[in-house]
Structure 1
Amino acid sequence: MTDLEYGRRRQLLSVRGHSVAWVPPLLLLVGIVLLDFNTSERFRIVGWIVLVPGTAAAICGMWTTAAFAGLAVVTYVAVDSAWPDQYRAGLGDFVLVALGGLMAVMASAVRLRKERQTLHIQDIAETTRRTVLRPLPPRWAGLDQAGVYLAADVEARVGGDFYDIQPGPHGTRVLVGDVQGKGLGAVETAAALLGTFREAGYHEKDLATVAERLEIRILRHRRHTTALGRDDGDRFATAVLIGFPEDPYPTIGVVNFGHEAPLAVGPGGVGELPSGDGLPLGLCDLVGGLPPVRRVPLAADETLLLVTDGVSEARDRFGAFYPLARDIADAVAADPGLAEPRHLVRRVRDGVLRHSGGRLGDDTTAFAVRRIQEAAGEDGEEGRLRS
């Protein structure tokens, strides 16, 4: 086990960086000994000391478990010998304690091997996630940005949600989306779309052309997976493509591929941008064309909040959906500083986890962007009005 893996395993039972995993089995050992000495000869519980190495096997390392197994045997002999011959637990309980300690050591070794395998898988998944969702500077391409991503599969920590920012000579483009389905197939599709977005978002002047390139890419990707004999040839993705002009105009371009409508969060409250009637990427041929580019006003002091359906479809134990817009509106009214991207996505994350009790039914992403104030022009009040 590497130092990093060992450090991760110790985090849950540590105080100021020092492991305290040995404390519970030690307290159990002391408690059994005290109870045995303070009960009558008719109620001998020293044999229960077999629970000590078993407890250590669940939370301690193998060598610590072995130490507790040996200590349990020595303690059993010492405590049992202190009683008169006719009241001793005898050889039977001694064999039980000795065999229990040996099995605890073996169980500890198996658990640690499984932990190493799990941590290795998590490292691979984390590397994959960081490759698909590349790290973004907090202030980049004229935008303040922040994002949170929570995978429904907490072990894998990777799914089909994606987002990115691509600056270029024609302004800054933002893409947020959610690939239908889960697993590596969804990750592959997300990676294919992001690769096309990063190229087309930089080179193409018209936002409509970028949207067209994304639609073509997912169709090509589907044909490729079908040729490989895989059963995900009908995969699609909802997405929102946003274009921030190079100059600080008070409008942005929005192409919505069947995704959740973005929210504009600012001092004037929370407004929903037009969602449009576009179909998801990969299905646009069903209506004979792509969704239109809509020009939407956005004030300089407004933050654009984009989420995936893991947020909007989060349910509490009564089946009620998470009221995103209302929750954000109440929070910003109480503290306008929450409209900043980093505070806003944390509020969404905490709100979803609180509402759902930590039980996520789908991958959950919240992404917020706002023009850097120093680079923004003077916008009118129209940016706070939504159709």
Structure 2
Amino acid sequence: MGGRRRGPLDRLSRPARPAREYDVLRRHQMLRVRGRSVAWVPPLVMLVAIAVIDFNTAGEFRMISWVVLVPGIAAAICGVWGTAAFAVLALVTYFVADTSYPSRYASALPDFILVALGGILAVLACAVRVRGERHMLHMRDVAETTRRTVLRPLPPDWGGLDHAAVHLASDVEARVGGDFYDVQQGLHGTRVLVGDVQGKGLDAVEAAAALLGTFREAAYHEELGTVAERLELRMLRHSRHLAALGRDDGDRFATAVLIGFPDADDEQDVVDVVVFGHDPPLVVGPGGVRHLPAGDGLPLGLGELSDDGPPPVRRVPLALTETLLITTDGVTEARDAEGRFYPLADEVAAAVAADPLTAEPRRLVAHVRDGTLRHSGGRLADDTTVFAVRRSLPGTGRKGRSPS
């Protein structure tokens, strides 16, 4: 995205973090001031406080054995070496404070052993914690890399299109689900693919990655009808490969919408659409909301059930001020506490009537995302993708081709 300033939509489109990962990152941020770690401050303050209180109390009330708590606190927020340092410092403080008292007030040997054993256990506990956090953060990086590979970042005005997207995976540990989308420039115009693989989890991610790989290659070279044929064939080959491996998800399929934006000067007010069993896109503009024809195509992977081949390519009018809105099951099947589905078309129509600028892709995506989460109470039963796209208005976008 270059140096573009991040806005509210960038924060919305980030995948939700698991609670444990969020707690770890939040704790790391809280324990840094101006980029420097201050995790050593709480255990040091506690150690000094215990020593001062013990020195200023009567001999009958000995508090110095409480230093066993110091390495325990360090184990929760410091590194292994920091915890070890506090374990040694606590033991030294205990020994100095204890020997400074008359013999009749001195603590017994068991207290000394308790402080020493507490320090050792604290160091071991810290080592386990640090190792677990490093593994978790490493897995976060792996998942984030997978997400960027499947749902690659799209530059603004890519292919002469103004677009915006929000993707929320129901599997927050995987951080990416079976929903997929991409924009590909090509020799015959710019193509858009949005779809939803049946099922959830990493198996659905695998199928989505296979379809996106085929789309990125075929959409650059081929006519839109040929791209549709290649996608159907890729899904069949993927299913047969899984069946040959003995995996029980070999019958997986995917619904999708394939859109072509022709680049000829006399075709700037039309788009070509192929619908593979997906809900048809909504056309959102200052004049209101309308549905595109649903079509009768089967989902990708089920083409063998029909003798007609892939769904036909339909050409439909689309004004420059109109936006195509495509959503997946996470939106259309979102239910409230009473089991009612999210009224997507009605909500968008009301928003556009109140403010025609809502039809802009970024505002439209943010509105649908917020409305879906509000309607479902933040509980997403399925992967959720909201994708909005239209041609860049004259003077605001850049057109060009790139073999990316």
| TM-score bin, normalised by smaller chain | 0.7 to 0.9
2:330 to 310, 317, 321: 310
Moved more, 110-119 or 271-280: 271-280
Residues 1:56 and 2:74 are matched in the alignment: yes
C-alpha separation in 2, matches of 1:338 and 1:366 = 14
C-alpha separation in 1, matches of 2:336 and 2:60 = 52
Query: Aligned residue for 2:254?
Result: 237
Query: Aligned residue for 2:209?
Result: 191
Residues 1:212 and 2:232 are matched in the alignment: no
Per-residue CA deviation, residues 259-314 of structure 1 (Å, 9 max, x unaligned), is 23323333234444343343321123334443343333322112222222233344
Q: Is the 8 A contact 2:273 2:314 kept in 1?
A: yes
Query: Aligned residue for 2:221?
Result: 203
Query: Aligned residue for 1:17?
Result: 35
What code does the residue aligned with 1:97 have?
A: V
What code does the residue aligned with 2:325 have?
A: L
What code does the residue aligned with 1:255 have?
A: V
C-alpha separation in 1, matches of 2:245 and 2:276 = 27
1:263 to 274, 277, 282: 282
Q: Secondary structure at the match of 2:394?
A: helix
RMSD: 3.7
Moved more, 318-327 or 281-290: 318-327
Give the total of aligned pairs.
Answer: 370
Residues 1:254 and 2:246 are matched in the alignment: no
Q: Is the 8 A contact 1:142 1:375 kept in 2?
A: no
1:176 to 161, 171, 194: 194
Query: Aligned residue for 2:361?
Result: 341
1:121 to 136, 139, 146: 139
- TM-superposed CA distance for 1:319, in Å, is 5.7
Residues 293 and 113 of structure 1: CA distance in aligned 2, closer, same or farther (over 3 Å)? same
Residues 1:366 and 2:386 are matched in the alignment: yes
What code does the residue aligned with 2:263 have?
A: E
Query: Aligned residue for 2:21?
Result: none
Per-residue CA deviation, residues 110-134 of structure 1 (Å, 9 max, x unaligned), is 2222222233333333323322323
Residues 226 and 304 of structure 1: CA distance in aligned 2, closer, same or farther (over 3 Å)? same
Residues 223 and 82 of structure 1: CA distance in aligned 2, closer, same or farther (over 3 Å)? same
C-alpha separation in 1, matches of 2:186 and 2:197 = 25
Q: Is the 8 A contact 2:261 2:271 kept in 1?
A: yes
C-alpha separation in 1, matches of 2:99 and 2:348 = 68
C-alpha separation in 1, matches of 2:263 and 2:353 = 31
Per-residue CA deviation, residues 152-196 of structure 1 (Å, 9 max, x unaligned), is 333332332211112223222110112123344323322221222
Q: Is the 8 A contact 1:250 1:300 kept in 2?
A: yes
- TM-superposed CA distance for 1:98, in Å, is 2.6
Residues 1:280 and 2:293 are matched in the alignment: no
Query: Aligned residue for 2:243?
Result: 226
Unpaired segments ≥5 residues, structure 1: 1-5, 377-387
Residues 72 and 131 of structure 1: CA distance in aligned 2, closer, same or farther (over 3 Å)? same
Residues 156 and 67 of structure 1: CA distance in aligned 2, closer, same or farther (over 3 Å)? farther
Moved more, 211-220 or 266-275: 266-275
Moved more, 243-252 or 88-97: 88-97
C-alpha separation in 2, matches of 1:323 and 1:27 = 56
Give % identity: 69
C-alpha separation in 2, matches of 1:81 and 1:231 = 71
Q: Is the 8 A contact 1:215 1:281 kept in 2?
A: yes
Residues 74 and 137 of structure 1: CA distance in aligned 2, closer, same or farther (over 3 Å)? same
Unpaired segments ≥5 residues, structure 2: 1-23, 397-404
Relative contact order, CA 8 A, sep 6+: which one is greater? 2
- TM-superposed CA distance for 1:240, in Å, is 0.9
C-alpha separation in 2, matches of 1:105 and 1:180 = 47
What code does the residue aligned with 2:239 have?
A: R
Q: Is the 8 A contact 1:242 1:254 kept in 2?
A: yes
Q: Secondary structure at the match of 1:141?
A: helix
Residues 77 and 191 of structure 1: CA distance in aligned 2, closer, same or farther (over 3 Å)? same
C-alpha separation in 2, matches of 1:78 and 1:319 = 68
C-alpha separation in 1, matches of 2:102 and 2:346 = 73
What code does the residue aligned with 1:17 have?
A: G
Residues 269 and 16 of structure 1: CA distance in aligned 2, closer, same or farther (over 3 Å)? farther
